[in-house]
Amino acid sequence: SQQGEEDPQALSIQEGENATMNCSYKTSINNLQWYRQNSGRGLVHLILIRSNEREKHSGRLRVTLDTSKKSSSLLITASRAADTASYFCATDASNFGNEKLTFGTGTRLTIIP
């Protein structure tokens, strides 16, 4: 079964609003990563947060990680039409002898101009 589950499955917001997506996972991790996928394309890495970090920022992206709840959230501020895409979280347990990168089911984000 997949490690990560994103919530919600789909999200539609007006341009300029903030978008928040959540990810829950099941086992101990080394880090958690977020990726974006534009329609018909490969995934692109956005941001990585390590298990000893609680919050990380990159431009308009803010990621939080709560290892006690095994959950993470991705916040996109001041959304733009170009942010329309699917977003996936992925867990890395490489410090636990598991090199696999396991993805969740994704959140489909639509920004309405």
Partner 1 sequence: NAGVTQTPKFQVLKTGQSMTLQCAQDMNHEYMSWYRQDPGMGLRLIHYSVGAGITDQGEVPNGYNVSRSTTEDFPLRLLSAAPSQTSVYFCASRNTGTGGSAFFGQGTRLTVV
Residues in touch with partner 1 (CB under 8 A): 1-2, 9, 30-31, 33, 35, 40-45, 48, 50, 88, 90, 92, 94-95, 99-106
Residues 60 and 77: their CA atoms lie apart, in Å, by: 5
By C-beta, is 14 or 52 nearer to partner 1? 52
Integer Cα distance of 22 and 9 in angstroms? 10
| Amino acid sitting at position 103 | F
As measured in angstroms, the least distance from the Cβ of 106 to partner 1 is: 5
- Cis peptide bond N-terminal to 8, omega within 30: yes
Please, what is the minimum distance in Å from the beta carbon of residue 113 to partner 1?
A: 26
